[in-house]
Protein backbone atom coordinates (compact mmCIF):
# COMPACT_ATOMS: atom_id res chain seq x y z
CA UNK A 1 0.00 0.00 0.00
CA UNK A 2 1.55 3.30 -1.06
CA UNK A 3 1.20 6.56 0.84
CA UNK A 4 -1.98 8.43 -0.02
CA UNK A 5 -1.65 12.01 -1.26
CA UNK A 6 -4.22 14.79 -1.33
CA UNK A 7 -5.25 16.75 -4.44
CA UNK A 8 -3.83 19.91 -2.90
CA UNK A 9 -0.45 18.31 -2.19
CA UNK A 10 -0.02 17.04 -5.75
CA UNK A 11 -1.25 20.28 -7.28
CA UNK A 12 1.00 22.42 -5.09
CA UNK A 13 4.04 20.29 -5.91
CA UNK A 14 3.39 20.37 -9.65
CA UNK A 15 2.79 24.14 -9.69
CA UNK A 16 5.96 24.75 -7.68
CA UNK A 17 8.03 22.56 -10.00
CA UNK A 18 6.59 24.32 -13.07
CA UNK A 19 7.46 27.77 -11.74
CA UNK A 20 11.00 26.70 -10.84
CA UNK A 21 11.51 25.30 -14.33
CA UNK A 22 10.28 28.43 -16.09
CA UNK A 23 12.54 30.56 -13.86
CA UNK A 24 15.43 28.39 -15.05
CA UNK A 25 14.60 29.12 -18.69
CA UNK A 26 14.28 32.86 -18.00
CA UNK A 27 17.64 32.89 -16.19
CA UNK A 28 19.23 30.97 -19.04
CA UNK A 29 17.97 33.55 -21.54
CA UNK A 30 19.29 36.36 -19.34
CA UNK A 31 22.67 34.68 -18.87
CA UNK A 32 23.03 34.05 -22.60
CA UNK A 33 22.14 37.65 -23.46
CA UNK A 34 24.51 39.04 -20.83
CA UNK A 35 27.43 36.82 -21.89
CA UNK A 36 26.97 37.63 -25.58
CA UNK A 37 26.63 41.35 -24.91
CA UNK A 38 29.62 41.66 -22.59
CA UNK A 39 31.77 39.21 -24.55
CA UNK A 40 31.29 41.03 -27.86
CA UNK A 41 31.33 44.66 -26.70
CA UNK A 42 33.46 44.51 -23.56
CA UNK A 43 31.04 46.87 -21.81
CA UNK A 44 28.29 46.48 -19.25
CA UNK A 45 26.06 48.70 -21.37
CA UNK A 46 26.42 46.21 -24.22
CA UNK A 47 25.63 43.30 -21.90
CA UNK A 48 22.43 44.92 -20.64
CA UNK A 49 21.56 46.05 -24.16
CA UNK A 50 21.65 42.52 -25.60
CA UNK A 51 19.77 41.14 -22.59
CA UNK A 52 17.06 43.79 -23.01
CA UNK A 53 16.90 43.04 -26.72
CA UNK A 54 16.39 39.33 -26.00
CA UNK A 55 13.51 40.16 -23.68
CA UNK A 56 11.90 42.45 -26.26
CA UNK A 57 12.30 39.72 -28.87
CA UNK A 58 10.50 37.27 -26.59
CA UNK A 59 7.64 39.73 -26.11
CA UNK A 60 7.26 40.33 -29.84
CA UNK A 61 7.22 36.61 -30.59
CA UNK A 62 4.49 36.07 -28.03
CA UNK A 63 1.98 38.53 -29.55
CA UNK A 64 1.09 36.58 -32.68
CA UNK A 65 1.01 33.25 -30.87
CA UNK A 66 -1.13 34.68 -28.08
CA UNK A 67 -3.91 35.92 -30.35
CA UNK A 68 -3.81 33.46 -33.26
CA UNK A 69 -2.08 30.32 -32.01
CA UNK A 70 -5.29 28.42 -31.17
CA UNK A 71 -6.83 29.06 -34.60
CA UNK A 72 -3.70 27.81 -36.30
CA UNK A 73 -3.62 24.60 -34.22
CA UNK A 74 -7.30 23.86 -34.88
CA UNK A 75 -6.92 24.52 -38.60
CA UNK A 76 -3.84 22.32 -39.00
CA UNK A 77 -5.61 19.55 -37.06
CA UNK A 78 -8.60 19.57 -39.40
CA UNK A 79 -10.98 20.23 -36.51
CA UNK A 80 -14.62 21.15 -37.15
CA UNK A 81 -16.86 22.81 -34.57
CA UNK A 82 -19.90 20.87 -33.31
CA UNK A 83 -23.10 21.87 -31.55
CA UNK A 84 -25.60 20.42 -29.10
CA UNK A 85 -27.61 19.11 -32.03
CA UNK A 86 -24.74 17.38 -33.83
CA UNK A 87 -22.95 15.90 -30.78
CA UNK A 88 -25.34 15.93 -27.79
CA UNK A 89 -23.53 13.43 -25.52
CA UNK A 90 -20.14 15.09 -26.00
CA UNK A 91 -21.59 18.54 -25.41
CA UNK A 92 -23.32 17.35 -22.23
CA UNK A 93 -20.07 15.95 -20.83
CA UNK A 94 -18.19 19.14 -21.68
CA UNK A 95 -20.92 21.24 -20.04
CA UNK A 96 -20.77 19.09 -16.89
CA UNK A 97 -17.00 19.42 -16.62
CA UNK A 98 -17.05 23.15 -17.42
CA UNK A 99 -19.53 23.72 -14.58
CA UNK A 100 -17.44 21.59 -12.24
CA UNK A 101 -14.27 23.48 -13.18
CA UNK A 102 -15.98 26.86 -12.91
CA UNK A 103 -14.96 27.93 -16.42
CA UNK A 104 -17.11 29.20 -19.33
CA UNK A 105 -18.32 26.63 -21.83
CA UNK A 106 -15.54 26.25 -24.42
CA UNK A 107 -16.03 25.77 -28.13
CA UNK A 108 -16.07 22.06 -28.95
CA UNK A 109 -14.45 20.57 -32.03
CA UNK A 110 -14.27 17.11 -33.59
CA UNK A 111 -11.24 15.72 -35.42
CA UNK A 112 -12.03 12.94 -37.89
CA UNK A 113 -9.41 10.43 -36.79
CA UNK A 114 -9.78 6.91 -35.41
CA UNK A 115 -6.91 7.35 -32.92
CA UNK A 116 -8.38 8.27 -29.49
CA UNK A 117 -7.06 11.58 -28.17
CA UNK A 118 -8.02 15.16 -27.32
CA UNK A 119 -6.52 18.57 -26.65
CA UNK A 120 -7.46 22.01 -25.33
CA UNK A 121 -6.24 25.31 -26.71
CA UNK A 122 -6.92 29.02 -26.23
CA UNK A 123 -5.24 31.87 -24.40
CA UNK A 124 -7.59 31.89 -21.38
CA UNK A 125 -10.87 30.33 -20.11
CA UNK A 126 -12.92 32.92 -22.01
CA UNK A 127 -11.28 32.00 -25.32
CA UNK A 128 -10.88 28.24 -24.96
CA UNK A 129 -11.56 25.35 -27.31
CA UNK A 130 -11.56 21.59 -26.81
CA UNK A 131 -10.94 19.19 -29.69
CA UNK A 132 -11.79 15.48 -29.50
CA UNK A 133 -11.10 12.78 -32.06
CA UNK A 134 -13.88 10.55 -33.31
CA UNK A 135 -11.81 7.62 -32.10
CA UNK A 136 -12.03 8.91 -28.53
CA UNK A 137 -15.82 9.10 -28.71
CA UNK A 138 -16.10 5.61 -30.16
CA UNK A 139 -13.68 3.81 -27.83
CA UNK A 140 -14.28 5.40 -24.40
CA UNK A 141 -17.31 5.08 -22.17
CA UNK A 142 -18.89 8.09 -20.44
CA UNK A 143 -16.80 7.85 -17.23
CA UNK A 144 -13.57 7.64 -19.21
CA UNK A 145 -14.67 10.52 -21.45
CA UNK A 146 -15.40 12.61 -18.35
CA UNK A 147 -11.87 11.95 -17.11
CA UNK A 148 -10.34 13.09 -20.40
CA UNK A 149 -12.54 16.20 -20.69
CA UNK A 150 -11.87 17.01 -17.04
CA UNK A 151 -8.14 16.82 -17.78
CA UNK A 152 -8.44 19.14 -20.77
CA UNK A 153 -10.59 21.69 -18.96
CA UNK A 154 -8.11 21.57 -16.09
CA UNK A 155 -5.51 22.76 -18.59
CA UNK A 156 -7.88 25.64 -19.38
CA UNK A 157 -8.57 26.44 -15.72
CA UNK A 158 -4.87 26.24 -14.81
CA UNK A 159 -3.92 28.56 -17.73
CA UNK A 160 -1.60 25.85 -19.02
CA UNK A 161 -1.93 27.00 -22.63
CA UNK A 162 -0.72 30.47 -21.69
CA UNK A 163 1.98 28.92 -19.51
CA UNK A 164 3.16 26.69 -22.36
CA UNK A 165 3.17 29.72 -24.69
CA UNK A 166 5.42 31.65 -22.31
CA UNK A 167 7.88 28.77 -22.08
CA UNK A 168 7.84 28.23 -25.85
CA UNK A 169 8.56 31.92 -26.49
CA UNK A 170 11.47 31.90 -24.03
CA UNK A 171 12.90 28.75 -25.59
CA UNK A 172 12.44 30.16 -29.09
CA UNK A 173 14.16 33.40 -28.08
CA UNK A 174 17.12 31.45 -26.72
CA UNK A 175 17.40 29.47 -29.95
CA UNK A 176 17.20 32.60 -32.14
CA UNK A 177 19.70 34.55 -30.02
CA UNK A 178 22.15 31.65 -29.91
CA UNK A 179 21.86 31.04 -33.65
CA UNK A 180 22.41 34.71 -34.48
CA UNK A 181 25.47 34.94 -32.21
CA UNK A 182 27.06 31.76 -33.60
CA UNK A 183 26.51 32.92 -37.18
CA UNK A 184 27.89 36.34 -36.27
CA UNK A 185 30.97 34.70 -34.75
CA UNK A 186 31.42 32.24 -37.63
CA UNK A 187 31.35 35.00 -40.24
CA UNK A 188 34.03 36.95 -38.42
CA UNK A 189 32.04 39.32 -36.24
CA UNK A 190 34.25 38.56 -33.28
CA UNK A 191 34.76 40.81 -30.32
CA UNK A 192 34.66 44.58 -30.55
CA UNK A 193 37.04 47.00 -28.93
CA UNK A 194 36.39 49.50 -26.19
CA UNK A 195 34.67 49.18 -22.83
CA UNK A 196 36.43 47.32 -20.05
CA UNK A 197 39.11 46.08 -22.48
CA UNK A 198 40.55 49.60 -22.59
CA UNK A 199 40.77 49.53 -18.79
CA UNK A 200 42.72 46.26 -18.63
CA UNK A 201 39.75 43.87 -18.55
CA UNK A 202 40.70 42.03 -21.73
CA UNK A 203 41.27 38.66 -20.03
CA UNK A 204 37.86 38.75 -18.34
CA UNK A 205 36.17 39.72 -21.59
CA UNK A 206 37.87 36.85 -23.41
CA UNK A 207 36.66 34.41 -20.76
CA UNK A 208 33.10 35.75 -20.98
CA UNK A 209 33.26 35.51 -24.77
CA UNK A 210 34.20 31.83 -24.55
CA UNK A 211 31.40 31.30 -22.03
CA UNK A 212 29.01 32.97 -24.48
CA UNK A 213 30.03 30.54 -27.23
CA UNK A 214 29.56 27.55 -24.92
CA UNK A 215 26.17 28.85 -23.78
CA UNK A 216 25.10 29.49 -27.36
CA UNK A 217 25.90 25.88 -28.22
CA UNK A 218 24.28 24.30 -25.15
CA UNK A 219 21.50 26.70 -24.13
CA UNK A 220 18.94 25.77 -26.86
CA UNK A 221 19.29 22.08 -26.00
CA UNK A 222 19.03 22.70 -22.25
CA UNK A 223 16.07 25.05 -22.72
CA UNK A 224 14.25 22.46 -24.83
CA UNK A 225 14.73 19.81 -22.12
CA UNK A 226 13.40 22.23 -19.50
CA UNK A 227 10.42 23.01 -21.74
CA UNK A 228 9.60 19.31 -21.93
CA UNK A 229 9.93 18.99 -18.16
CA UNK A 230 7.46 21.88 -17.74
CA UNK A 231 5.04 20.14 -20.11
CA UNK A 232 5.24 16.92 -18.10
CA UNK A 233 4.62 18.76 -14.81
CA UNK A 234 1.51 20.41 -16.24
CA UNK A 235 0.21 17.01 -17.36
CA UNK A 236 0.54 15.68 -13.82
CA UNK A 237 -1.25 18.78 -12.55
CA UNK A 238 -4.11 18.36 -15.05
CA UNK A 239 -4.50 14.70 -14.06
CA UNK A 240 -4.84 15.58 -10.38
CA UNK A 241 -7.20 18.45 -11.21
CA UNK A 242 -9.36 16.16 -13.37
CA UNK A 243 -9.82 13.75 -10.46
CA UNK A 244 -10.76 16.72 -8.29
CA UNK A 245 -13.48 17.64 -10.80
CA UNK A 246 -14.87 14.16 -11.49
CA UNK A 247 -14.21 12.55 -8.07
CA UNK A 248 -13.54 9.42 -10.09
CA UNK A 249 -9.84 8.55 -10.53
CA UNK A 250 -10.71 5.17 -12.03
CA UNK A 251 -12.34 6.74 -15.12
CA UNK A 252 -9.19 8.73 -15.89
CA UNK A 253 -6.96 5.76 -15.11
CA UNK A 254 -8.90 3.52 -17.48
CA UNK A 255 -8.84 6.19 -20.18
CA UNK A 256 -5.06 6.51 -19.90
CA UNK A 257 -4.55 2.76 -20.17
CA UNK A 258 -7.02 2.38 -23.04
CA UNK A 259 -5.59 5.23 -25.12
CA UNK A 260 -1.99 4.14 -24.51
CA UNK A 261 -2.84 0.59 -25.61
CA UNK A 262 -4.52 1.74 -28.81
CA UNK A 263 -2.39 1.09 -31.91
CA UNK A 264 -3.97 3.74 -34.14
CA UNK A 265 -1.66 6.54 -35.35
CA UNK A 266 -2.94 10.10 -35.01
CA UNK A 267 -2.04 11.40 -38.45
CA UNK A 268 -2.81 15.08 -37.82
CA UNK A 269 -0.42 15.35 -34.87
CA UNK A 270 3.15 16.58 -35.27
CA UNK A 271 6.12 17.66 -33.17
CA UNK A 272 4.78 21.22 -32.92
CA UNK A 273 1.38 20.19 -31.52
CA UNK A 274 2.09 16.93 -29.67
CA UNK A 275 2.45 18.66 -26.28
CA UNK A 276 -1.20 19.78 -26.45
CA UNK A 277 -2.74 16.31 -26.50
CA UNK A 278 -4.12 14.26 -23.61
CA UNK A 279 -1.53 11.54 -24.18
CA UNK A 280 1.48 11.68 -26.46
CA UNK A 281 -0.03 11.26 -29.95
CA UNK A 282 3.31 10.15 -31.41
CA UNK A 283 3.67 6.51 -30.37
CA UNK A 284 7.06 5.05 -29.55
CA UNK A 285 6.82 2.55 -32.40
CA UNK A 286 6.66 5.41 -34.93
CA UNK A 287 9.75 6.68 -36.74
CA UNK A 288 8.93 10.27 -35.74
CA UNK A 289 9.06 9.34 -32.03
CA UNK A 290 11.86 10.50 -29.70
CA UNK A 291 12.07 9.22 -26.13
CA UNK A 292 14.44 12.00 -25.06
CA UNK A 293 12.07 14.69 -26.31
CA UNK A 294 8.82 13.22 -24.98
CA UNK A 295 6.28 15.89 -24.05
CA UNK A 296 4.29 13.65 -21.69
CA UNK A 297 5.11 11.60 -18.60
CA UNK A 298 5.05 7.83 -18.98
CA UNK A 299 1.55 6.36 -18.72
CA UNK A 300 2.69 4.09 -15.87
CA UNK A 301 3.85 7.13 -13.87
CA UNK A 302 0.61 9.00 -14.51
CA UNK A 303 -1.52 6.05 -13.41
CA UNK A 304 0.57 5.44 -10.28
CA UNK A 305 0.23 9.11 -9.31
CA UNK A 306 -3.54 8.78 -9.65
CA UNK A 307 -3.40 5.75 -7.41
CA UNK A 308 -1.59 7.79 -4.78
CA UNK A 309 -4.70 9.95 -4.55
CA UNK A 310 -6.82 6.94 -3.58
CA UNK A 311 -4.23 4.99 -1.62
CA UNK A 312 -4.44 2.09 -4.07
CA UNK A 313 -1.28 0.05 -4.65
CA UNK A 314 0.82 0.92 -7.70
CA UNK A 315 0.46 -1.10 -10.89
CA UNK A 316 1.76 -4.64 -10.57
CA UNK A 317 4.61 -5.99 -12.68
CA UNK A 318 2.32 -7.47 -15.34
CA UNK A 319 0.43 -4.20 -15.86
CA UNK A 320 3.68 -2.21 -15.94
CA UNK A 321 5.09 -4.54 -18.59
CA UNK A 322 1.89 -4.32 -20.65
CA UNK A 323 1.88 -0.49 -20.63
CA UNK A 324 5.61 0.25 -20.82
CA UNK A 325 6.74 1.57 -24.17
CA UNK A 326 3.25 2.19 -25.57
CA UNK A 327 3.06 5.96 -25.02
Spatial distance between the Cα atoms of 305 and 121, rounded to a whole number of angstroms:
25
Question: What are the residue numbers of the active site?
Answer: 152
Spatial distance between the Cα atoms of 67 and 61, rounded to a whole number of angstroms:
11
CA distances from residue 140 to 136, 204, 232, 255, 309 in whole angstroms, order as listed: 6, 62, 24, 7, 23
**Sign of the torsion angle spanned by Cα atoms 165, 280, 20, 307:** positive
Amino acid sequence: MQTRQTFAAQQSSNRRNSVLLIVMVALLLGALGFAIGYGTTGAMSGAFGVTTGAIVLAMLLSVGSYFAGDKLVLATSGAREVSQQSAPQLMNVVQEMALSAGVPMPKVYIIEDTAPNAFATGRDPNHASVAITTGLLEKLDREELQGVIGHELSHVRNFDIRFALLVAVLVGSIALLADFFLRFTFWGGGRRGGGDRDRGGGALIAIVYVIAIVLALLAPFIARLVQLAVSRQREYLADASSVELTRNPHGLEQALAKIASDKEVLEVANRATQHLYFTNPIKKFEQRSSAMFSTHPAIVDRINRLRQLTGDPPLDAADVQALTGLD
